[in-house]
Chains A and B, each alone.
Chain A
């Protein structure tokens, strides 16, 4: 349930959540749906909230005012910086890997 597609950095729940929240604040269920749409990864509720808890602890995302049972989260500037660094690393890795594949 947690990671249906092949595992790898592109299915890391924390990166997926940060990427989802980079678009704007969302609550848990909306994050799940968004991640399923843009990454094709279906996060289980347990995986989602384990990652959210850690991201809040790290101060990479923060909860906003709750409306009913739903509470939206937004990405912080620290979280945005962390996401940028991780995505840059992934981009370097993918361009390097693709170059090598083409050379084979």
Chain B
């Protein structure tokens, strides 16, 4: 596989299906320079965010969660308010569900799956980080209420997915109502 093929493969599959052959034709005419590679990579990142609303929402939720963790660590956010703000971040899941319906005109369950995927990225990362014990915030490395850290992480995982289901469904349902209203208004 050549570098040109690799560059093309950085784009989302749906985008490649639509524009891949043309882009391949143009890349074949161009000399590969660092500037051109950076241009194509930046463009493919934008297409990932454009094609898949859940990726944008996962990125937003990831940044939100990271900011919150840092905020608690640096004392900017009281630790007692962590759960409140953590769940406020789940509005991104609501957005993922709603946006998927608005963008792709897809069904409610596809939108809910989109919300699930968005939830998986930051939560999965948190679990991974905690599992390798890289972070030692809030006594994560010691048992809490008689249960291991992994027990609480698993509980958090289940809760997050239930929240993703709830928020994703809510977002998708609202978006479908908006779509119906738009059609009616036309």
| Residue positions of A touching B, CB distance < 8 A | 1-2, 27-29, 32, 44-50, 52-53, 66, 69-71
Contacts and interface: CB of A to CB of B under 8 A. Distances in A.
A53 B39 contact: no
Contacts, number: 58
A68 B131 CA distance: 51
A53 B15 contact: yes
B162 interface: no
Interface string B76-95: 00000000000000000000
Contact of B43 (A27, A28, A50): A50
Contact of B26 (A29, A50, A53, A66): A29
Contact of A46 (B21, B29, B39): B39
Interface string B31-43: 0010110111111
Interface string B103-147: 000000000000000000000000000000000000000000000
A53 B12 CA distance: 13
Interface of B: 15, 19, 21-27, 29-30, 33, 35-36, 38-44, 46-47, 50
Contacts of B40: 44-46
A1 B22 contact: no
Contacts of A48: 26
Given A1-B38, A53-B15, A53-B50, A47 B43 contact: yes
A69 B47 contact: no
Q: Is the interface of B mostly helix, strand, loop or mixed?
A: helix
A49 B22 CA distance: 9
Given A53-B47, A53-B50, 10 more contacts: A1-B33, A29-B25, A45-B23, A45-B40, A46-B39, A46-B40, A49-B43, A50-B43, A53-B19, A71-B21
B26 A32 contact: yes
A69 B38 contact: no
Contacts of A71: 21-22
Contacts of A32: 26
Contacts of A66: 21
A46 B25 contact: no
A46 B41 contact: yes
Given A46-B43, A47-B43, A69 B25 contact: yes
Given A45-B30, A53-B47, A69 B21 contact: yes
Q: Name the residue among B24, B25, B50 with the largest chain A CB count within 10 angstroms.
A: B25
Q: Which 9 A-B pairs have the closest CB atoms?
A: A46-B43, A44-B39, A46-B39, A69-B25, A1-B35, A46-B40, A69-B21, A1-B39, A50-B43
